[in-house]
Amino acid sequence: RNFTQMNYIAHGLKGSSAAIAATKLVEICQAIETLSISEPNVLDLQHLIQQIEVEFEQVKLALEQERQRLETL
């Protein structure tokens, strides 16, 4: 398990999420960053990764809806 790499990826995703105002993704990524630099509990990290997957799908849907809305203007 490479927690340094996990921290790096979470940090990058957090920045990208902040750029599009995906605040829930930002919060989840921040939690992963915090856990991955301390004594990480693998089950906690797995749960957070599952939360990212769910939230990502919601953000993707919202972005697609916004794209479609803008195309009709």
What is the predicted pLDDT for the residue at 21? Answer: 96
In this prediction, residues 27-49 reach a mean pLDDT of 93
pTM of the model: 0.90
More confident residue, 24 or 2: 24
What is the predicted pLDDT for the residue at 28? Answer: 98
Tokens 């921040």 found at: 30
Among the listed residues 50, 54, 56, 23, the one whose alpha carbon sits nearest the alpha carbon of residue 64: 56
What is the predicted pLDDT for the residue at 2? Answer: 83
- By CB atoms closer than 10 A (0-12, 13-18, 19+), residue 24 is middle
Torsion of CA 17, 39, 54, 57, to 10 degrees: 30
pLDDT at 1 over 80: no
